[in-house]
């Protein structure tokens, strides 16, 4: 129904083309039905006729939202806000992985504080300081610098959690999240529960994060945080 509302002319042309093709199939068959005796095709034609006649099931929206909610709950993203999702990406047939997250990491290529701040929704001056601090801590990749800036400039745990997911780190670079959290935690003079809660959220969301934390925890030198930086 939304397609009909957005572009009625295109929808009308589409329906006419489908009906013409259906008539062609009927004309080439003896009984007028044998070539379209397919459940999927019947369902499609019935749906198109309903759209043409502006028929809508009263339970359609309720059922659709219920299915989407169940799907999101299985993915454990019920507390995650999806922002900046483009319509073209939603319709992309080649979606894979966490397709609803942005995959552009080019904003960190030149350490441009303004671009980084705009991307992670942070303050420019604060992000500039964090980039300098990240360099002193051995954050020698774009992914680690982005993770560090998000963790250190976020308002709270939930804000950091959502921003980290939206980074959409390619390949296995998402493993750097736990590495950076460990570095930040051990560099603190006093224990900061912020890192513990953030790591807990990430482990619940993705079991791979839990595995990374277990593996990297074995290499932690509790006598010095700098030893951790050298071993990751």
Output the pLDDT for position 51.
Answer: 74
**Residue 3: both structure tokens together:** 């397609």
Q: What is the pLDDT of residue 228?
A: 47
Nearest to 150 by CA among 112, 110, 122, 179: 122
Structure tokens at 27: 């004309």
Backbone dihedral angles phi then psi of residue 57, each to the nearest 5 degrees:
-70, 130
* Contact present, 179 and 232 (Cβ < 8 Å): yes
**pLDDT (mean) for 62-66:** 64
Segment 17-41 mean pLDDT:
69
- On whether the pTM is more than 0.85, the answer is no
Do the Cβ atoms of 228 and 220 come closer than 8 Å? yes
Residue 172, classed as helix, strand or coil, is: coil
Contacts of 88 (CB under 8 A, 6+ apart): none
Q: 54 vs 35, which has greater pLDDT?
A: 54
**Interatomic CA distance for residues 84 and 6, integer angstroms:** 21
pLDDT of residue 230 exceeding 60, the answer is no
* Residue 188 scores a pLDDT above 60: yes
Query: Which residue has better confidence, 192 or 96?
Result: 192
Residues 6+ apart with CB under 8 A from 13: none
Nearest to 126 by CA among 150, 159, 106: 150
- Alpha helix (H) ranges present in 98-224? 113-120, 124-136, 142-153, 157-166, 176-187, 193-205, 207-217
Residue 103: per-residue pLDDT: 46
Which of 115, 119, 155, 148 has the alpha carbon at shortest distance from 134? 148
DSSP secondary-structure letter at 82? P
pLDDT at 95 over 80: no
Q: Is the pLDDT of residue 92 over 70?
A: yes
Stretch 214-228: mean pLDDT, rounded? 61
Does residue 3 surpass a pLDDT of 80? no
Cα dihedral 132, 137, 141, 142 in deg (nearest 10): -40
- Per domain, the residue ranges of the chain are 2-85, 106-231
């Amino acid at each position: 129904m939304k397609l009909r509302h957005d572009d009625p002319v295109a929808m009308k042309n589409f329906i006419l083309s489908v009906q013409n093709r259906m008539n062609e199939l009927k004309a080439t068959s003896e009984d007028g039905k044998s070539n379209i005796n397919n459940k999927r095709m019947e369902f499609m034609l019935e749906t198109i006729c309903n759209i043409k006649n502006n028929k809508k099931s009263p339970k359609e929206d309720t059922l659709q939202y219920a299915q989407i909610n169940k799907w999101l709950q299985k993915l454990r993203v019920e507390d995650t806000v999806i922002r900046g999702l483009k319509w073209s990406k939603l319709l992309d047939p080649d979606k894979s992985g966490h397709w609803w997250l942005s995959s552009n990491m080019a904003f960190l290529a030149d350490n441009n504080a303004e671009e980084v701040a705009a991307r992670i929704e942070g303050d420019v001056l604060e992000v500039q300081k964090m980039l300098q601090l990240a360099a002193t801590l051995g954050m020698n990749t774009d992914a680690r610098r982005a993770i560090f800036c998000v963790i250190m400039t976020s308002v709270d745990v939930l804000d950091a959690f959502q921003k980290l997911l939206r980074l959409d780190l390619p390949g296995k670079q998402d493993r750097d999240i736990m590495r950076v959290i460990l570095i930040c935690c051990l560099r603190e003079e006093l224990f900061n529960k912020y890192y513990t809660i953030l790591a807990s959220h990430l482990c619940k969301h993705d079991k791979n994060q839990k595995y990374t934390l277990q593996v990297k925890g074995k290499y932690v030198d509790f006598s010095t945080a700098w030893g951790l930086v050298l071993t990751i």
